[in-house]
Amino acid sequence: MTQHRTAHTPQTPGGLLTFGETMGLITANTIGTLEHTRDLTFGIGGAESNTAVGAARLGAPVTWIGRVGSDAAGDLVGRRLRAEGVRTFAVRDTSFTVLMIRHHRAAGVVHVDYHRTGSAGSRLTPRDIPAEAVQRAAILHLSGITPALSASARQATWHAVTTAKAHNVPVSVDVNYRSKLWDRDTARRELQRLVAEADIVFAGVEEAQLVLGSPAETPEDLALGLAAMGPGEAVVKTGSRGCTARIEDAMYAEPALPVSAVVDTVGAGDAFVAGYLAERLRGADGVQRLRTACAMGAYAVSVPGDCELLPTRGELETFLAAGDVLR
């Protein structure tokens, strides 16, 4: 497919603003049932904060807002994000920080349990998202997870979107459909509304089909369908095949980068989004945005964890050079 270049987007000082649920992440480091595991690590994870860390590692100014419990997991969330250079506003709540427990039942088979009902993260409200923070942002990024958490989190999402639209702040949406949080019909209606208000949308193939209510299978058709709903930039993530995008009336295709071994696929989509948005903030064209996005996704699957080992810009360049994939 022919690739076209788009005009550069000027960098603005507000950087990336995102908000949502960040969890304490307990990971078993050996393969087998959880009851036989004796080696565990404790980290953090969450779609929006993974993207925040990835973008910050690439040099973008990033702000994250969310609610966490007054517990050890909440302490860890705040410390880790601040250590990554993410401007962090972690509202302390009387409820608990979400916990995600992940183990490999067998090689290549990941099992995840969430302990989140009634959590601090689900109690996010419009009051937690200052209008001034949205107005100062260069991009507002959110995912389809947040409006699925609770009625108040959904209200917070729409408060942020409405404020951004009123002040000409571009809105980025990663569909991130989670079947454990809501049924398909409810999700489709809400996600369609979000995509229609977005300037930038990211979706996997099945997520795009859900939003469009269409059995269309080709990434090109899905990208065109999403763009027709309103976003000027529609990116369909196709995993090991790379991505296809419609950006300002031009079609793009970028192949995935080969990796010697896939270690952990969790968080790869968030890393992809981080790469795209960080490059957009720098004023890069569509080709470079997608190239960096695919590189970030490839790096993410080659290391363990949701966001802890995502690369700096220098490390990403070394990774690309080592793979002889610079073009």
Other beta carbons within 10 angstroms of residue 135's beta carbon come to 16
Asked if 270 is an active-site residue, the reply is yes
The amino acid occupying position 168 is: N
Number of H helices, E strands in the chain: 11, 13
Note whether 3 and 244 are within 8 A (CB): no
Give the residue among 61, 45, 39, 51 at the shortest CA–CA distance from 237.
51
Which helix (H) or strand (E) is 154 found in, with range?
A: helix 151-166
Among 199, 270, 285, 306, the one annotated catalytic: 270
- Rounded CA-CA distance 277/19 in Å is 15
| Beta strand pairing call for 243-247 and 233-237 | antiparallel
Q: How many CB atoms lie within 10 A of CB 63?
A: 21
How many residues are present in the chain?
A: 327
Exposed / middle / buried, residue 279 (Cβ in 10 Å: 0-12, 13-18, 19+) = buried
Q: Mind telling me the catalytic residues?
A: 270
